[in-house]
Amino acid sequence: MSDLIQVSEATSSPVMESVGFRRGLDRLLDSGVSVDVVTIDRATSIRKIMRESYPELRHQFDPWHGAKGVKKKATAAGRKKENKDLQPWIKSLGNHFWWSCSSCGGDEKELRRRWTSFLYHVCGIHRWEQDGQEYKCYHDDLTDDQQKGKKWLQNGCAACNALKAVVLDKNLLRDLRHLTLFKHTGALEVFHSSMLKYAEKRRHFTYVSMQARLQLSIMDHNHNVGRQHDLTKSGEDKYVFHSKQSNQWVVRKLYEPTSQDFRKDLVQQVILRRLDKNIRLGDQSFHIHHPVSIPVNIGPTPKPNKDDLTGAAALASSILRFCICGMMSSHSRQQ
Ligand SMILES: [Zn+2]
C-alpha cells in the first residue's frame, strides 16, 4: 500500500512526513490490516502522533539510527584532546549498541544492562557487582595475553567520563523501551534506494507521473524481495568487499542479481488491454484516481503580474547599481 503526498498539502518537509505517515497508517488500519508494531526513526513529530493518536500500537525505533547516534556523539567527544583514548572504542560502541538490541529478548531491563555493561568492559572489567548481584560480560573469558594486549581505558579518566555521558544519556536510556524488539528498517532503506531509480529527486514530475513511478518502484521491490544469497559454480556463498568512508573494508554476502522481468508482464498486459475491443480510451476505469486536488502550481502565494515582477526586478537592479556606485565613490574618496 502506498500513498503519495502532494507538496502543497504541507508547509514543510517534516510536516509532509507527518501527513503521509498518518494517512498511510490510517489506510492500513481502515482496510483491516492488524498492525502490532510501527517502526521508524526517532523523529519527534512521529513520536507525538504515535503517543497521542495510536497509543494502542507498539512504537519501535530503528536500532541502526540509534547506533549511528551514539557513534556520532562519541566521535564528537573523542575529538577533544583529553578524550582521544576514546577513539579506538567508537566502532565497538556502535556494534555493542546493535548487539544489545538484537540479543535482549524484548526485555527493557536486560537491554539496559547489556548496553551499560560497555562501561565496565572498556575499563578491562569483565565481572562486576551491581545492586547486590554479580554480572559478567557475555564474551568468552579473555586469555592473559588478550587482557594485557588491549588498551583499556583507565576507570575515571576523562575519556571514560565522556563515554559515560554518551552511554548513560537520559534521553537514550528512556528510549531503550522503543528498541527492545530489534525492528530495523533496512528493507525500507533498500526500497527508498530502488525508488530513486524510477523517480530521481533532481527532476520534477507531475503528480500522475510520480504516482506511476512510485507504483513501478513498488512492483520492482515486490518482484525482488526475498532474494537468496548468490552462489558460486561450486555452490559456495559469493562475497563482496567494499570500502567505507571510514577507510574500513567491509565484507558481506552477495545476493542474487535483481530482475525487472515484471516489466515484460506489464507491457504484455498493456498490449492485451489495447487489443481488447470492449475497452475504449475514454473509459472511466482508464483514469487514475487522484486522492487530492492538484493545484495549478505549488507556489504558496498567487502568481504575480508579469509587469509587476519585471518592474520590481528593474527597480532592484537600479538600487543595486546605485549602491555599488556609492560604494565605489566612497572608496575612491578614502583613497
Ligand atoms: Zn568484557
pTM of the model: 0.71
pLDDT digits (tens, 9 = 90+) for 27-50: 999 999 999 999 987 788 899 999
89 CA distance to ligand 1 centroid (A)?
13
Task: Tell me which residues have their CB within 5 A of the ion that is ligand 1.
Answer: 121, 126, 137
88 CA distance to ligand 1 centroid (A)?
16
110 CA distance to ligand 1 centroid (A)?
16
For residue 305, what is its C-alpha cell?
503580474
pLDDT digits (tens, 9 = 90+) for 294-323: 666 666 666 777 777 676 666 666 665 655
pLDDT digits (tens, 9 = 90+) for 145-197: 999 989 999 999 999 999 999 999 999 999 999 999 999 888 888 888 889 99
Q: Quick one: pLDDT at residue 10? A: 65
98 CA distance to ligand 1 centroid (A)?
16
162 CA distance to ligand 1 centroid (A)?
19
125 CA distance to ligand 1 centroid (A)?
6
pLDDT digits (tens, 9 = 90+) for 78-117: 999 999 999 999 999 999 999 999 999 999 999 999 999 9
Which has more pLDDT, 47 or 283? 47
20 CA distance to ligand 1 centroid (A)?
44
**Which residue's entry shows cell 537491554?**
111
Separation of alpha carbons 115 and 109, rounded Å: 10
Separation of alpha carbons 335 and 333, rounded Å: 5
138 CA distance to ligand 1 centroid (A)?
7
pLDDT digits (tens, 9 = 90+) for 213-266: 999 999 999 999 888 888 888 888 888 776 666 566 777 778 888 899 999 999
124 CA distance to ligand 1 centroid (A)?
6
Q: Quick one: pLDDT at residue 225? A: 86
139 CA distance to ligand 1 centroid (A)?
6
Q: Quick one: pLDDT at residue 106? A: 96
Q: How far is CA 227 from CA 65, 211, 237, in A?
A: 25, 26, 13
Q: Where are the domains of the chain?
A: 63-178
Q: Quick one: pLDDT at residue 31? A: 94
186 CA distance to ligand 1 centroid (A)?
29
